[in-house]
Amino acid sequence: MIGTILICFGFFVGTIGTLIEAGGGFIMMPFLAKRILSSWNANFLLKSSECAMINILEKQNIMNTTINPHTTSKAFLSLALFLGLATGCSTIKTRQNVASLQKLSSEIPTEFKELKSAVFAENDVTTDDSVDVVTESISEATNHDITEIPPSIISEKKIRIPVELNEHVQRWIAYFTERDRERFQRFLNRGQLYRDVVENVLEENDLPAELYYLAMIESGFRTNAHSHASAVGVWQFIPGTARRYGLRIDRYVDERRDPIRATEAAAKYLRDLYNVFGSWHLAMAAYNAGEIRILRAVFKGRKRNFWDLIQSKSLPKETAEYIPKFLAVVLIGQDPKKYGFSETNNGVSYPKLEAVEVPGSLQLNQISKLSGLTLDSLKKVNPHLNFSQTPSSVARYEIWVPALSASTLKAQQSELFRNYTKIQRSTASTGIAKTSVEVHRVKPGESLLTIARKYKLSIGHLKRINNLKSNRILSGTRLRTQSRAYSPSNFVRYKVKRGENLTLIAKKFKTSITKLKVSNQLRKNQIVVGQVLKIDSPDL
């Protein structure tokens, strides 16, 4: 009887709370209520929008609430009050709340609610030349005494991300300067090639220049870096996030390996993360571990400070090391001589490039002849192309050309597209465009695996285009390394609409789910609103 009265009283007080603009701010939850809130947070995290969660953290200040155990009777009373007040608080919509949500929603991609399906897996780069190969376990002791870098140094170096010296950062400085000195010097030297490109993009997006060093700890500035989690390129994008930020990934091209396009995508992603978390430390942690995982850690640790989250052991081990590693690299990179490294400003920089639009299915050797550039130089500035041609899945594609040669190629554009149109017309009846087929003669000691790696193909694809039934090949055998490609006129790019799935889209275009998944490199049947699919249908 008494319990019923208390619960009713709690709901009554909650109703009164809806009339108070900051009604959620005075909730005082004792021990039992805290336990219930912890389990409630887990479900709420997955069901509510991320914007609303951030708003709750700010308005109710629940992460800074001090909780003390009470007696059983007080705990029961508090539980009743909590249930009622939570009901009331869920309906509060003050003008300030609405304004905050509107601001956040304008800064976050529309697909943000679907992001939990694209959470980053752990980002351990498999190539030898990458910082993330190193796995250092974080110390159990957490000395929270932080020594700040003198303001004069921060001002002189124009550092915008808070740089703090604590035991975690010092341990990584010691690691790079003692145990990993040679490799770190290679990072500094290689990074110099891309420094102007990265910093220019960061400046255009009004982002801190020191985010340049984030690429260093992600990949060591290797464009071909690849991780177990299928993260690729200088910025180590996984496929879902890469496509969400406009990078093309298909059989013909992987723009995650394009240092310019990938940097532009990374800048947009980091800006969105900062708009959500309001902290560069948390934004970079989310870049490493995924947005949902960091939001969950914020709820679990009830703190919005990275170092507090480390102390409460709310973060994954890799992410707890990620920010200290980054700060160590920033400190060394800003003053390499101080730490015994040679100067990296050797005058080497990425060539100034211009994007030139050319037809799809165009061989790079044709572009080489028209522009006066060597084939190797074209491949070097277009490392994202999987073959020695532009993608066959599109009618037009922009390739990078050194600025000095761009004008020569642009003068030939009209002729290129005229020839391309003639090819399209001549193959319209068959629907297949013949491309020059590269043939490889098998040498002693070679296998399908080594040949497939050489031409960036799968063994299955090699067997299919050469009608091979087994993996055995003989020395001297001639193998096709590039099959005929469909004409761009046979492809259509389709943007997924709300309520659609692969089954509906397959029926709409009279194709199969399997073909859709193969054409778009999908491992699962899950797609998100706004995702662009490449569709190859016999009726197109």
Q: What is the pLDDT tens value at each position of the chain, 540 positions in all?
A: 555 554 455 545 444 444 333 333 333 333 333 333 333 333 333 333 444 444 444 444 433 333 333 433 444 344 344 334 333 333 333 334 334 433 433 444 444 433 333 333 333 333 344 444 443 333 333 333 333 444 434 444 456 899 888 999 999 999 999 999 999 999 999 999 999 999 999 999 999 999 999 999 999 999 999 988 889 999 999 999 999 999 999 888 999 999 999 999 999 999 999 999 999 999 999 999 999 999 999 988 888 899 999 999 999 999 999 999 999 999 999 999 999 998 766 667 788 999 999 988 888 988 888 888 899 999 999 999 998 889 887 888 999 999 888 888 888 777 777 766 554 444 444 444 444 456 788 888 888 888 888 887 778 778 877 778 788 888 888 887 764 443 444 467 788 888 899 989 888 888 888 778 877 777 778 888 888 887 865 444
CA distance 21 to 18: 7
State the alpha helices, DSSP H only, in 117-221: 151-157, 167-174, 181-204, 212-219
Strands (E), 193-321: none
SS3 38: helix
CA distance 247 to 265: 7
With vertex at residue 490, the alpha carbon angle to CA 437 and CA 499, rounded to the nearest 5 degrees, is 130
CB 482 within 8 A of CB 440: no
Burial of 367 (0-12, 13-18, 19+ CB in 10 A): buried
Residue 256 token pair: 């995650």
Confidence (pLDDT) at 346: 66
pLDDT of residue 257: 96
DSSP 277: H
**208, 330 Cβ separation under 8 angstroms:** no
258 closest CA partner among 266, 120, 271: 266
Q: Specify the amino acid at residue 486.
A: Y
Taking alpha carbons only, the member of 242, 188, 238, 254 closest to residue 216 is 188
The catalytic position among 107, 114, 140, 218 is 218
Q: How far is CA 160 from the centre of its chain?
A: 22
Residue 451 structure tokens:
């040949």
- Count of CB atoms within 10 A of residue 5's CB? 10
In three-state secondary structure terms, 254 is strand
Ramachandran quadrant class, 244 (left: phi over 0; alpha: psi -120 to 50; beta: rest): alpha
Among 442, 384, 426, 132, CA closest to 259: 384
Cβ neighbours of 397 (radius 10 Å): 23
Alpha helices, H only, 48-122: 50-60, 72-89, 95-107
pLDDT computed for residue 419 by the predictor: 65
Look-up of token digits 């001090």: 66
C-alpha closest to that of 163 among 317, 288, 278, 323 = 323
Which pLDDT value is given to residue 190? 92
pLDDT at 360: 87
Q: Are 282 and 304 in contact (CB under 8 A)?
A: yes
pLDDT of residue 495: 85
At 311, is the secondary structure helix, strand, or coil? helix
d(C-alpha 360, C-alpha 439), whole Å: 21
For residue 509, how far is the Cα from the chain centroid?
Answer: 31
> Kindly report the CA angle at 112 between 110 and 313, in degrees rounded to 5?
160
Q: Which amino acid is at 254?
A: D
Q: Find residue 148's DSSP bridge partners.
A: 164
Burial class of 461 by CB neighbour count within 10 A (0 to 12, 13 to 18, 19+): middle
Residue 402 bridge partners (DSSP) = 353
Q: How far apart are CA 134 and CA 115, in angstroms?
A: 28
Calpha distance 515→491 (Å, rounded): 12
Q: Does the CA dihedral 494-495-496-497 come out positive or negative?
A: negative
What are the structure tokens assigned to 114, written together?
């679907």
Asked if 204 is an active-site residue, the reply is: no
Using CB atoms within 10 A of its CB, is residue 2 exposed (0-12), middle (13-18) or buried (19+)? exposed
The three-class DSSP label of residue 39 is helix
Domains and CATH numbers, the chain: 2-99 (no CATH), 119-339 (1.10.530.10), 353-429 (no CATH), 439-483 (3.10.350.10), 496-536 (3.10.350.10)
